[in-house]
Amino acid sequence: MFQYTARSDLLKDRIILVTGAGRGIGAAAARTFAAHGATVLLLGKTEEHLNRVYDEIESAGHPQPVVIPLDLEAALPHQYDELAATIENEFGRLDGLLHNASILGPRTPLEQLSGDHFMRVMQVNVNAMFMLTSTLLPLLKRSEDASVVFTSSSVGRKGRAYWGAYAVSKFATEGLMQVLADEVDGTCAVRANSVNPGGTRTDMRAQAYPGENPLSRPGAEEIMPVYLYLMGPESKGVNGQAFDAQQASNMP
């Protein structure tokens, strides 16, 4: 596991948006960021899931989060503009953006992968992530110390048979991270890095590996050290790097 111990007020006063915050790794990240002092903007498709995380954060006495229901498969450009306007009015800036929402799509040979399925995965995993990044960048640039964290996968670093659109989307995720990192390098206080969570006990993992004993994988709360490190001030200046949540350390 990535080694990092965060102080309890690490993210005090930071405004952090997490996509896919209703379940799995995104929900754990939202709860963890809030527990370290952040005001978390919970974005996801299913309002009921987001409300559950909202209630957990509120009843734990952490800063009051904000629920943002948005279907990233169907979202239109004006909805991204409205989101940015709402954040600007409410907070005036954004200090963190965790791109976490994704869908797995069918795992099948490319020859049998329909264009429809391919495009659906790319819409959620790549296009929506680009739209959020470009629309929210002006607000991130207003922060004194902003961090954008992209969620990758081991199949986004080396292609693997039958992982089709999902693997391609994760390569695109690394690509978007690298382009953004190079653009912001030395020009503003925004940094961009990627995290490969590694096999983690969530609904997506169970969908990908139905025969696996879920307890053989760490829970989402256990992989949080690298997310805290990247969202907090101690990773200032770390830019354009690919991290692994379950590897001991790849800190420079």
CB 188 within 8 A of CB 141: yes
DSSP label of 248: S
* Site for ligand NDP, residues 111 to 170, rule: CB under 6 A: 124, 151, 153
Q: Kind of pairing, strands 96-99 and 15-19? A: parallel
| Interface residue with ligand NDP, options 14, 45, 62, 191 (CB under 6 A) | 45
Under rule CB under 6 A, residue 105 binds ligand NDP? no
Q: What are phi and psi of 5, to 5 degrees?
A: -115, 120
Under rule CB under 6 A, residue 193 binds ligand NDP? no
Catalytic residue among 4, 54, 166, 229: 166
Under rule CB under 6 A, residue 31 binds ligand NDP? no
Active site residue 80: no
Task: Output b/e per residue, 113-132; b: 16+ Cβ within 10 A.
Answer: beeebbebbbbbbbbbbbbb
Q: Where are the alpha helices (DSSP H) in 123-163?
A: 128-141
Instruction: Give the residue with the Cβ less far from ligand NDP, 186 or 210.
Output: 210
Distances in whole angstroms, Cα of residue 158 to Cα of each of 15, 91, 146, 189, 211 = 33, 39, 29, 31, 23
Instruction: Give the residue with the Cβ less far from ligand NDP, 28 or 139.
Output: 28
DSSP label of 13: T
Under rule CB under 6 A, residue 46 binds ligand NDP? yes
Under rule CB under 6 A, residue 96 binds ligand NDP? no
DSSP label of 201: B
Q: At its nearest, how many Å lie between ligand NDP and the CB of residue 2?
A: 14
Residue ranges in contact with ligand NDP by CB under 6 A: 20, 22-26, 44-46, 49, 71-73, 100-103, 124, 151, 153, 197, 199-200, 202-205
Q: Which residues are designated catalytic?
A: 166
